[in-house]
Amino acid sequence: GFWFFGYGSLMWDPPFSAAESHRAKIYGYHRSFCVSSETYRGTPDNPGGSLGLDKGGSCTGIAFRLSETGRSTAIREIEAREMDDNPIYVCRRVKLHLTDGRVDRYTLVVNRADRIFAGSLSFEETARRIATCHGDRGHNIDYLSKTVSHLDEMDFPEGYLHRANAIRGTG
């Protein structure tokens, strides 16, 4: 089967049906609010933050196995949601570490050369954006809160997002 790794809203709101899903971890990338969102989480004048996988570290998320018959539809749905606004994400082959072994499959990582890459913003500026921005898919703070809640439910350690959530009232 075809496996895809979700690390942000795809964990709790996938636009596709999966044949199965499991907790998974990847190495070489970490979850970060490194994408300036000018549509979903903010506006061009007041960009919000979206999650991306950036170089270094590790990330725990959800591995989805897509059926052969649903694979092309799922890929179209992922592309429409995650890459329609700006193609900052690129598909990369990664090793997914599942509890029962490793699977070699795919995820979306950020293109650091893209104009909306925001990995160099300070933690404080990122937190300010998250606390104050709003886009087509709602308030940026709700995106953070839902992601943190899902990580907590799945018992995924994530200090960076919990720190951002703790100071969300700033701005």
- In the structure, what pLDDT confidence band is assigned to residue 170 with cuts at 50, 70 and 90? very low
Write out pLDDT tens, residues 54-86. Answer: 999 999 999 999 988 888 899 889 888 887 767
In a domain, 73, yes or no: yes
Specify the pLDDT at position 36: 95
In a domain, 102, yes or no: yes
Q: In sequence order, what E strands does 38-100 have?
A: 48-66, 89-98
Kindly report which listed range (107-116, 130-139, 141-150) carries the lowest average pLDDT score: 141-150
Task: Give the percent of the chain with pLDDT over 70.
Answer: 92
User: 81: which 2 tokens?
Assistant: 């949601």
- In the structure, what pLDDT confidence band is assigned to residue 52 with cuts at 50, 70 and 90? very high
Q: How far apart are CA 171 and CA 42, in angstroms?
A: 15
Q: What is the CA radius of gyration of the chain?
A: 15
Structural domain of 98: 2-166
In a domain, 67, yes or no: yes
In a domain, 45, yes or no: yes
* CATH number reported for the structural domain that contains residue 109 in this entry: 3.10.490.10
In a domain, 147, yes or no: yes
Specify the pLDDT at position 55: 96
Write out pLDDT tens, residues 88-101. Answer: 999 899 999 998 88
Q: Do residues 106 and 91 lie in contact, with contact meaning Cβ atoms separated by under 8 Å?
A: yes
In a domain, 171, yes or no: no
Number of domains in the chain: 1
Residue of 79, 81, 104, 80 whose CA lies nearest to 90? 79
Q: How far apart are CA 62 and CA 51, in angstroms?
A: 15
- pTM, two decimals, is 0.87
In a domain, 160, yes or no: yes
CB neighbours (10 Å) of residue 106? 16
- Three-state secondary structure call for residue 78: helix
pLDDT, mean over the chain: 88
In a domain, 145, yes or no: yes
Write out pLDDT tens, residues 106-130. Answer: 999 999 999 999 999 998 899 999 9
